[in-house]
Amino acid sequence: MTALTALTPELEPLYQAAQTAAAQAYAPYSQFPVGVAVRAISGQIYTGCNVENASYGATVCAERNAIAAGVVAGERQFDALLVYTPQSDLTPPCGMCRQVIAEFFLPDTIIYSSNHLQQLQGWQVQQLLPDAFTPLYLANSTKVPTE
């Protein structure tokens, strides 16, 4: 985990985009709006917000929505992610989102959490999900012969 820090000019566009996305969140059950901005290695920024559902398991998190928006546009690798929540606590991604992040970000990429006070806290992907199951495991797998 990196120390609590202030918003930097490099992260400002992500912060603004994530804050705007959070305003679009559909969170009638948790009352916990989340917005996320991801930057692809192309430089393009994609956003997502949480979309809740009365069947809680059908809820989709902002992180996965933002990454999916990039994937739909043809992106396959990202180099920045910033989560925004309009509360004082800085909130890291949930476990399911950590797995999706590990799929599309390098292990040393910093994933940021921010709030309405423009505070930031960051974690490397490998800190959020040590020993993540990634495509590398699939590439190195051996098939067990069946008889």
**Which residues form the catalytic set?**
63
109's tokens: 């990429």
Q: What is the dihedral of CA 96, 1, 47, 52, to 10 degrees?
A: 40
What radius of gyration, in Å, describes the C-alpha atoms of the chain? 16
Phi, psi of 77 (to 5 degrees): -140, 140
Count of CB atoms situated within 10 Å of the CB of 69: 18
Sheet holding 5-6, edge to edge: 5-6, 119-124, 110-115, 78-85, 35-40, 45-49
